[in-house]
A and B are shown apart, each in its own frame.
Chain A
Amino acid sequence: MASELDFQTLAQEVLEDSVLKLFEANGVDLATSSSVEQNDAEAMAGIIGFTGDEMRGTLVLTCYGSLVAEGDGRADKRDWIGEMSNQLIGRIKNKFLPYGITIWISTPVALRGFKLELISDNAEAAVKSAFSCPGGGAVAFFDAELADGFELQEATEELEEQQLEGELVLF
């Protein structure tokens, strides 16, 4: 049965919620923002490709300003942004599962630069969300190419065995 929810609306909700919860789990409170002004702040971007029967595409998580600076204490900023994008696509993947959407993800790559702006001409399934925090912010960009005939299904509640972030199960 087709859902009343269109994919782009679902993707927007999932992306926004996933970014907020990812950073919250890492001790950073972000607020959603209507616009992003990176100015001359250093930016780091983590990029992950994904594929599946229903779609394929790219997720990009860009962090700048204080968010990147707060990575100074970490062993490797490139690795850090790569792992953050990895955990972000993991959350998105897990939120898509109840809708019958399964994606497979690649290992992340990282970029460093200034004013890393992304655009897409894919109006069907590309969504972007911006976030701010004191002295910095983040932009998440989810760009999917949907398979021919793709139709978003109603979410199922039958995934009792699905594990969520932070959960542990011992066999």
Chain B
Amino acid sequence: MSKAKVLIVDDSSTVRQQVSLALTQAGFDVMEAVDGVAGAETIAANDDINMVICDVNMPRMNGLEMLEKVKGEAKNDKLPILMLTTEGQPALIQKAKKAGAMGWIVKPFKAELLVAAVKKLTAA
């Protein structure tokens, strides 16, 4: 059985490295993208991505814009997207929920909590 593949979209290489380490140690395959534009392009070019973890504040295209763009395409309807950000503002969380995000984590993340969420969302 192939490993679930998770795309990490964050402009910080430090965060991408931390998330990647947590997920690979838990048995997931990972891909990385540096902003919303690269994230949307990576999703469009790879049909085998099982889940996306996405920052909010990024250059070029932020995470909420990427979420709306990706979820605007019917083929991504069931693709789970989890937001991982420093933002905790209720209005933004509601906006993400309405746009189709499956969850929200405020940085810094706890590795065990993130892995548990990824396991749950990729198993659904």
Contacts and interface: CB of A to CB of B under 8 A. Distances in A.
A88 B114 CA distance: 20
A90 interface: yes
A169 B121 CA distance: 12
B90 to A, nearest CB: 4
Nearest to B12: A83
Contacts of A75: 13-14, 17
Contacts of A86: 12, 57, 86
Contacts of A8: none
B7 interface: no
B120 A170 contact: yes
A161 B93 contact: yes
A165 B89 contact: no
Contact of B107 (A90, A93, A161): A90
Contacts of A91: 86
Given A25-B108, A163-B104, A170 B117 contact: yes
B69 interface: no
Nearest to A81: B14
A133 interface: no
A79 interface: yes
B87 A93 contact: yes
Contacts, number: 96
Interface stretch (B22-30, B43-51, B71-79, B95-103): B95-103
B58 interface: yes
Secondary structure of the B side of the interface?
A: mixed
A83 B14 contact: yes
Contacts of A94: 88-89, 106
Secondary structure of the A side of the interface?
A: mixed
Interface size class of B (residues with CB under 8 A): 20 to 34
B103 to A, nearest CB: 4
A76 B106 CA distance: 22
Interface string A77-118: 001101100110111011001000010010100000000000
Contacts of B109: 166, 168
B14 A74 contact: yes
A76 B34 CA distance: 14
A79 B14 contact: yes
Nearest to B89: A97
Interface of B: 11-15, 17, 57-59, 85-90, 93-94, 97, 101-110, 113-114, 117, 120-121
Interface of A: 22, 25-26, 74-76, 79-80, 82-83, 86-87, 89-91, 93-94, 97, 102, 105, 107, 159, 161-171
